Structure 1
Amino acid sequence: MSFFSSIRQKAPFLERIAESFTPTMSRDEKFRLQYKLPNEEHIVDDTNTDITFTTPYGPHRKDEKRINDNGAQVTYVFSGKLFLTPHFLVFRDAFDQNSCVLILNISTIKRVERSPSQSYAFALLVTLYSGTQLLIQFIGLRNRSEQFCEKLKEMLKHNIPNAKRLPEFVESCYSDFLIQKNILRKKDIIAPKAGLGQHFKYPGQPDISKEKAKLRLWFEYYKENGENLAIIQNHTFQKLVRIGVPSRMRGEIWELCSGSMYLRFANPGEYGRLLEDNKGKTSQAIDEIEKDLKRSLPEYSAYQAPQGIQRLRNVLTAYSWKNPDVGYCQAMNIVCAGLLIYMSEEQAFWCLSNLCDIYAPGYYSKTMYGTLLDQRVFEAFVEDRMPVLNDYIVEHDIQLSVVSLPWFLSLFYTSMPLEYAVRIMDIFFMNGPKTLFQVALAVLKVNGDDILQADDDGMFIAIVKHYFQTLHESAHPDSPDSKYRQITKFQELLVTAFKEFSVITEDMVIHERNKYKKTIFENIETFVKKTQLRRMPKTFILSDKELSNIYDVFYQSVETHKISLGTGSSNMTFDVFVQFMGKFCDWAKPSRDDNDQVYKTQKQTFLRKLFNNWDSSKLGELTVNDVVLGLDRMTSPDLLEAMNYFFSLYDEDNDGQLQKDDVLQMSEGLLFLTTPWKTGKFVDLLTKKAIEDDIADEIVKETSIGQQASGEIELPSGVTIDEEKYKARQSERYLTAASSFLQRCFEYAEPLQLDKEVDLLDLSDDEGKSDEAKQAKKKKFASIVANAALDPTRPTVIDLATFRMVILADETYELFFSTTLRKSIHLEEGADDSGNNQVLKSMFDGIIADGRRVAERVRRRVDSVATNKSRAGSIETSTTTESIHTSETNNKMVDLDDFTTDHLEEHEELLQNSWLDVDETTDQSARQERKIEPMSSSLSEKEQDLIEFEA
């Protein structure tokens, strides 16, 4: 016994370990799931109580076991816990939590008073609308019981409006119809609306005598334990469900067990409003519904008639509008058709809602992740419970899911005859999803011997199909015992499922689902990604790796969309687009400049231009295809294409012309895009070339010409760079480019509309004036007409050719469109905010480590100096070097072309580099001078000292 005591003590610890590896639900979530309550319910308070209940009708005959010596009826007392939620009182017994379960809607309470008979304890006497009385005796501190009662009083007040709707709702329940007709003897009472079976008969042509017997058992149960919203569920309730629910009662029992009855009461008229509000609307889901309507249980006559088809259409359409994430999914029509045989449209609608959300989560979704997950769980159960059969299936490469997938997806409706499938549904709604696993395992167990003779999938399917078609036959036809011969295969299946496989519990199912959920979700996401990448539009610039990265970052940004679940919108709004671009583009990343209102406005304006340009649907949302096509155009290496695309962003009317306001907006956009270079955060090719030139010049100055000319030129082991100088130069260059851009745009602008005929020599109004005055007026008038840009009353425009001319006239903007802009978009490292940009120190380390370019510049300067000395020996080397530097400065366009041709492809990784991050608290002298250590150097200390310099 000590061993078991030790295990018992360790059990809580082991449970905590298990919970740490699996997702845990909150207390309220577990509570709602256990009792199938609506999502808005939560535990307000709970307390320990003893409950006694009496019904107003009681048994027709006195039960001797319930009569004491004085002839009074004995009532049972159940000890347990009472929970209070905003709309329910829930009691569960402490014995096994199944002997007495009461889910009482507070709206059914007619009166609450303190019990006078319990003077020694605090007790309440609760009277329900049906006359049933509950005696609640509180256990524990009186103060604690008083608090519970105060909260109950508050909930009763909130539920007064719902209580007014109770009589109308109760009339829709068949259990109330039985009581009213057979006990209260009301005349002219009409049976509530039910399913299609009332007119088209119920499946299987049930025996009338058996139906009456079952109906009598349920009638007796209602009299003793209440009905619909105030029913007590116990072991008798579960037995009655297992032996088979009468067809007329099945709809109410299904919605009672599934909890959909509580949803229907809480949402009066919502089903009708959904149909009315969306009448005449179309959607993809509705189109798919129309295709499947006539393929829904074709063996049942109602679905070959307009009445049955219309009911099915209404329910599926209403659900598609209620849950647009799901809309409509394969096999949903089969399940809904099965519900409508026993339920009204509204009952089936709410039952379908709870079935999709609670019983079969993810079964009916875009990715069908729930079905795939449960198939993996089922395979794990087969491997654990039937190892011999599992080994045989694996050995012969039989795909178990080919057979079992339809069982789970259609809830056995399409696998076995309807009269047996609905019996499975009875237990499914009472016991939950574990029922499907128990029945599926029982099917394999019963047919195990035959399956072990199957060689392939075809034989496996044929064996199971034949078994389902013969469920009505005797399971033991050759038995000498007549009782055994009367047992059908279906009865044998039920016994095997719920006796032998009763070990399959709800907790086991949840544990196995959590175990395989991550793997299944990853497989789904991988499959969806591959499929969508194959369907993407053709791109000319983006590589497969970049497309893959764009896809990942896109759906990481759209957090509401769950790829594996198939829920949420997969489109990107503008706010998400801003964050998305910040992960890829240097100029869109969050920075301290965002606090500047001017910069913030420029950023929002330009990104809005991009967003609107990429939005192909013009609905204010971007798809992943829109983003891919947009980025493909932005990263084009063709200079003309880059300028054309930028022009098109501001030419919103596509007339090929930009007016003054458009040009100003374009200038603001260029100011925003070039901010990282204007502020010195990054360097461009011109700055980099200037740095290399300065290094080469300094080497020439500090070293002997003869030494450099006689041997291989090598770089110094360490140099110091005045980064502030280059920052200032680059910033001034970009500001100058911006100013020149506006100036040239307005200088070369053309009038929007020119007069066709203008007589410049019309002097008719100048009679009496001197010749000089006439001549001056003629020149002034001709100047205004000829150059309309000077006339403020007449608008001017620039076209694409003018824009390109203005850009090409400035080396900074030309370089920006040809290289800088494209290299500022890092599509391979979009998920990393840091990108692939190196700080200034790393850039210089790269220059020093791969010093061939600088060394070549030094040699050219040395050769040039030697040549000049031979021609004019009086010229000093320093003067020659300075003149060469000045000459190259005056011919920047030529040098840029040569440099781009020679080194652009070789050194693409160094085209964009960030400046060395400077701490605000760093000393000013340290900020202006950084010593750069070489990445690799083979120079001696003496050689390093010779060529070390300071900028």
Structure 2
Amino acid sequence: MAFFDSIRERAINTINQVLDKKENDGLTKAQLFCREYNLPDDETVLDESAVEVGIKSDHNKDAYKNMAYPQGRIFLTQHFLIFRDAFDKRNCSFTIQLSTIKKVERLPTSSYGFALSISTHSKVYITLYLVGIRSDSEKFSYNLKLALKNNLRNVQKLQPFIQSCYSEYLLAKNKISAEKVEEMPDGGLGIIFKFPGNARELKDKSKMKLWFDLFRGEGRNLSLIKTPMFYKLIRVGLPNRLRGEIWELCCGSMYLRADQPDIYSKLLEENKDKKSFAIEEIEKDLNRSLPEYAAYQNPEGIERLRRVLTAYSWKNPEVGYCQAMNIVVAALLIYMSEEQAFWCLNVLCDRLVPGYYSKTMYGTLLDQRVFESLVQNTMPLLWDHISKNDIQLSVVSLPWFLSLYLSSMPLVFAFRILDVFFLQGAKTLFQVALAILKLNGEELLKTEDDGTFISILKNYFQTLDQSAHPDSPNLKYRSITKFQELLVTAFKEFSVVDQEMIAKHRAKHRGTILQNITSFVKRTELRNLPKSTNIDQDVLGKIYDRFYSIVQTQNVTIGSGSSTMDFVAFKKFMAQICDWVELEHDDRETQGEDFLQRLFTHWDSEGKGNLKLSDLVFGLNKLVDSDLMTSMSNFFELYDVDNKGRIDREGILKISEDLLYITTPWKDGVLLDSITQTAIENDIADIVYKRQQDQGSNSAKDEIDLPTEVDLDKQKLENQQIERYLSAASTFIQRAFEYAQPEDEEVLIKELAIDNKISHNAALNPNTPVFVNLPTFRMVILADETYELLFSKTLRHSIHLDKPLDSDFSTIRNLRDMFDGMFADGRDIAKRVRRRMDSAATTLNNNSVGSDNASLKSSKSKAQEAEEEERDDDFGVIDIDQNDKDLILGAEAQVLTDPVNNSPAGQKELRRFHNAESKIKSDQDADSSHVEQNLIEFET
């Protein structure tokens, strides 16, 4: 049995690994689990088991007496114990932090076989009846024991955290909790500047009493049991003092705050007095954040808002600060402390509405396209009207989504939307938006322009507190407000719009939005790059693509344009475009790493060890400069680290080493330079011309027949080039020190004899400090034909900035392969042969006709040669291959085609929407008793 058990376990592990690698919106299975239960991302499931759960407390011992035990699965992670009812998660669920567990006991053997009793700090007692093989139950029990032991160090964090929870203060003040919470926790700016709305009309005290009863019987904060009452109390609106705590509990930011209590204060302290672009943008928007609320006309409110936004910009510098973030944080701070708002903002940006608050606003734009698709499917009449009149729906709805309705509705109603939003996520935004359009549908169908469309909805938001049916003869029906009607329509009639449906539509439109955003970001960043006189716009686009493909952070959901390249990525980049850079396959130190590091450091404008795209473009633009003098000056600057216009002895030696490294492909005979190519072409031309002469083809009009093979001494030519580069390196060192100047010129003068005979040149003395300035460096380079060619042409041609990103073509070819390749395009060779034939013909005409005719022939030959020289770089028109054309058009057609609506699954979804639309119309025509019943169910 042990053998089969081991096989089974290995099989399960293998399957789990495969499933973990399968991505869903870029998330692994473990990450999806954390998102589903609002856990921190680093939590993983240690063990799980089928279970039945019994719950009781000191204050409601009979509450679950007549209820069947909830059944489901219990999950154990490093810091949490999670349960959810298998049939309805709203029936019973909990996420208990292990540090809140005070005691675990194994109950005597019962009919269930294995049971554990757990008591929490809030005096809630949970009985776990583990269902399954006893050995698995034993294993779960053992893993729970280990996890509790590992969490002992976190228990000390619990007491300070409890002091920050209003739920604990409420119970302690009423002598229910044994915890000592003597001071009221920071409840946000509302405590100082009053909360929005009329507390009496909102029945704030009655709601607080209901929550008080719930906390007594079902726990609170880190050990709360979520029952149907929990969800009902959120739907009817949260009391002001508890709103912030329930928000962070629902979205999971409470768990982050409890685990990292010092992060917020450390961020502010460590970055005190620092400046950034994000901080500049924050300062511009501080006074434009909910100006209708008194706290933001006061230094106290402004300072709190500044601190939270600044701390987040330092924690997430890739995002920093983005549009509308100030409005959302300003709303959070009314009900939350600074630390609560900080962690809630983290969860909001990373999970609830990813990509909303980014440089590209990718998430918002994607959801606008999703919303339009939902309107089209659920309200086709209205959508046809919108399309017919060219009304831009996204212009209307974008502020709703981006500001979470805070800038559209009166705050007292917007906060009711947020209550549900933090509970059930982004689908709330879609459901409310659809309900708004539906309830105003009749009036919207009469509009013909954007202005009237917006005006109708703006007026609707300002009258949400008024009766939805003021002329109804039924008094109860008349008392229903527009906002109550909106909630019923959104969460009952549009309950069909769930998270799964939204995810499907996001997947459908993501490619198009991503492509548009990526193109926009690319155009914007390329426009903002420094002027590059040596790199054209098309090549800049390829550099951009290669840069982000290597740094692998081109994620438009967080806004691209701010990613940087470290030295490892820089080496990889240069290896892809330079003939003289080659990465070792065994990850050993790259040959010539010192020179690459010198380039990297010199191009790093901020000196932070990372290159921005602008740094890279600026450096490459200098490296490929076509002017000989400028090219030498740019190279000289790499070694003039002190900007004194001189390079010392060590610098001269480094230059000689780096020149040897750069010229490796030519020094090793892997590439040809222009001198060798010219020598090869001349040799071939001589051979061809001799053959033409032997065959009697002396006329300039004869067609030149190039042979497919020519017998050349390839080894000789290769050795000549290798010797030339080695000689150039040796000559450089010799001449550099020969013409170097001593640091102390007086020493040199003293060494000169009166009779102008040099007794000893101090510059040649190895013990005398010497330097080379720019004019001397240029003189040494220009004195050697090989190095002069290196800076005028060879180096520039060895850097292939226009190399396609996905090309597997290697720019480095063996020298011997190049000989045969020269015949593929024989224009240069044919030109040289033609010159020899023209020369021979001219000589013949000079002998027979005379000097005037010979001069005329020579002029024609020169004119023809000049024309050929002008056309030397004319490669003709490059046609697109038909296969490539089909591929491009096919890809575009695939984007333009609606694959979801044409698929069986898409048709099924459309039928589902049409059924929902029929139901909505039916509900709209129902009598007042039906609406009243919905309200009773919704706000019981």
- Please state whether the residue corresponding to 1:90 is helix, strand or coil: strand
In 1, distance between residues paired with 2:476 and 2:151?
54
> Structure 2 vs 1, CA of residues 904 and 137 (structure 1 numbering), >3 Å: closer, same or farther?
farther
CA distance in 1: counterparts of 2:188 and 2:399, whole angstroms: 25
Are residues 1:33 and 2:24 paired?
Answer: no
Distance 1:783 1:167, change over 3 A: closer
Residue identity matched to 2:435: A
Maintained 8 Å contact 2:312/2:346: yes
Letter in 2 for 1:746: F
Query: Is 1:194 the equivalent of 2:187?
Result: yes
Shift of 1:531: 1.3
1:100–1:233: 8 Å Cα contact kept in structure 2? yes
- For 1:623, the equivalent position in structure 2 comes to 612
1:165-189 C-alpha deviation (Å, 9 max, x unpaired): 3233233322233333335398995
Given that residues 522 and 564 in structure 1 are in contact (C-alpha distance below 8 angstroms), is that contact kept between their aligned partners in structure 2? no
Aligned ranges 1:904-943 → 2 under 5 Å: 906-907=871-872
1:691 aligns with 2:680: yes
How much does 1:445 deviate? 0.6
Aligned letter for 1:726? L
Equivalent residue number for residue 731 of structure 1: 722
Matched with 1:853 is 831
State the distance in 1 between where 2:598 and 2:208 align: 70
Match of 1:169 in 2: 161
Q: How many residues align?
A: 837
Give distance in 2, aligned partners of 1:251 and 1:91.
Answer: 24
Shift in Å at residue 721 of structure 1?
Answer: 4.0
Give 1:350 shift: 1.7
Aligned counterpart for 1:682 among listed residues 667, 671, 675: 671
SS in 2 for 1:84: strand
Q: 2:640 aligns with which of 642, 648, 651?
A: 651
Q: Work out whether 1:182 is the aligned partner of 2:174.
A: yes
- The equivalent position to 1:536 in structure 2, one of 515, 529, 532, is 529
Deviation at 1:253, TM superposition (A): 1.4
In the alignment, which residue of structure 1 is the partner of 2:123?
131
Q: Specify the SS of the correspondent of 2:335.
A: coil
Match of 1:481 in 2: 474
- The AA in structure 2 aligned to 1:46 is E
Alignment CA distance shift 1:423-1:369 (3 Å):
same
Letter in structure 2 aligned against 1:264: R
**Helix, strand or coil for the counterpart of 2:170?**
helix
TM superposition shift of 1:282: 2.5
What letter corresponds to residue 656 of structure 1 in structure 2?
Answer: G
1-side partners of 2:357 and 2:172: how far apart? 39
Identity, % of aligned positions? 48
Counterpart-to-counterpart distance in 1, 2:210 and 2:585? 76
Q: Could you tell me which residue of structure 2 aligns to residue 377 of structure 1?
A: 370
**3-state SS of the aligned residue for 1:650?**
coil
1:92 equivalent among 61, 84, 91: 84
Shift of 1:504: 0.4
2:45 aligned counterpart, secondary structure: coil
Are 1:637 and 2:615 matched, yes or no? Answer: no
2:410 matched residue in structure 1:
417
Q: Gapped runs of 5+ residues in structure 2?
A: 1-17, 849-862, 876-940
Q: Is the 8 A contact 2:740 2:770 kept in 1?
A: yes
**TM-score when normalising by structure 1:** 0.82
Amino acid at match of 2:654: Q
- 1:745 correspondence with 2:736: yes
- For 2:435 and 2:263, locate their aligned partners in 1 and report how far apart those are by CA, in whole Å: 40
Cα distance in 2 for residues equivalent to 1:478 and 1:842? 94
Alignment-mate amino acid for residue 822 of structure 2: F
Residues 535-934 of structure 1 mapped to structure 2, 5 A cutoff: 535-566=528-559, 569-590=562-583, 600=590, 603-704=592-693, 707-710=696-699, 712=702, 714-722=704-712, 723-755=714-746, 782-784=757-759, 787-829=761-803, 831=805, 832=807, 834=809, 839-841=817-819, 843-848=821-826, 851-859=829-837, 862=840, 906-907=871-872
Q: CA deviation at 1:195?
A: 1.8
The Cα of 1:438 is off from its aligned counterpart by 0.2
Structure 2 residue identity aligned to 1:789: A
Name which of 484, 487, 496 aligns with 1:494: 487
**Amino acid in structure 2 at the alignment position of 1:56:** D
Instruction: Say if 2:301 is the partner of 1:326.
Output: no
1:861 Cα deviation after fit:
6.8
- 1:587-644 Cα shifts (integer Å, max 9, x gaps): 124479998x8xx55x222223322332333333322222223222222222222223
Aligned to 1:350: 343
Q: Which moved more, 1:315-324 or 1:437-446?
A: 315-324
Q: 1:701 to 1:386 in 2, by over 3 A?
A: same
Q: Contact conserved, 1:413 with 1:421, CA < 8 A, in 2? A: yes
Q: SS state of the match for residue 630, structure 2?
A: helix
| Residues 382 and 818 of structure 1: CA distance in aligned 2, closer, same or farther (over 3 Å) | same
Contact 1:609 1:649 in 2 (8 A): yes
Contact 1:560 1:568 in 2 (8 A): no
Name the CA distance, whole Å, in 2 between partners of 1:419 and 1:580: 54
CA distance in 2 between counterparts of 1:592 and 1:100 reads 56
Question: 734-743 or 558-567: which moved more?
Answer: 558-567
Could you say if the C-alpha distance between residues 184 and 315 of structure 1 is closer, same or farther in structure 2, counting changes exceeding 3 Å?
same
Tell me, in whole angstroms, the C-alpha distance in 2 between the residues paired with 1:98 and 1:517: 32
Task: Give the 3 Å change call, closer, same or farther, for CA 854–193 of structure 1 in structure 2.
Answer: same
1:276–1:686 CA distance, 2 compared to 1 (3 A)? closer
Length-normalised TM-score, structure 2: 0.83
CA contact (8 A) 1:696 1:857 kept: no
Residue 144 of structure 1 deviates from its aligned partner by 0.9
Show CA shifts across 1:238-261 (max 9, x none): 111111122222122111111122
Structure 2 residue 96 is matched with structure 1 residue 122: no
Q: CA deviation at 1:497?
A: 0.4
Q: Which runs of 5+ in 1 are unaligned?
A: 1-15, 67-72, 763-777, 871-897, 911-951
Structure 1 residues 236 and 563: alpha-carbon distance in aligned structure 2, compared to 1, 3 A threshold: closer
- How far 1:560 sits from its partner (Å)? 3.6
User: Which residue identity lines up with residue 156 of structure 2 in the other structure?
Assistant: K
Cα contact 1:700–1:862 (8 A) shared by 2: no
Contact 2:684 2:710 in 1 (8 A): no
Residue 892 of structure 2 corresponds to: none
Match of 2:145? 153
User: What is the CA-CA distance between 1:906 and the residue it aligns to?
Assistant: 4.6
Contact 2:313 2:319 in 1 (8 A): yes
Q: How many Å apart are 1:352 and its aligned residue? A: 1.7
SS at match of 1:846: coil
1:521 aligned residue? 514
Q: Which residue of 1 aligns with 2:279?
A: 286
* Secondary structure of 2:404 counterpart: coil
User: What amino acid sits opposite 1:698 in the alignment?
Assistant: I
Distance (whole Å) between structure 2 residues aligned to residue 553 and residue 907 of structure 1 = 30
SS in 2 for 1:281: coil
Q: Retained in 2: the 8 A contact 1:315–1:349?
A: yes
Displacement of 1:20: 9.2
Q: CA deviation at 1:447?
A: 0.7
Q: CA deviation at 1:208?
A: 6.3
SS at match of 2:78: coil
Which amino acid in structure 2 is aligned with residue 719 of structure 1?
E
Alignment partner for residue 472 of structure 1, among 456, 461, 465?
465
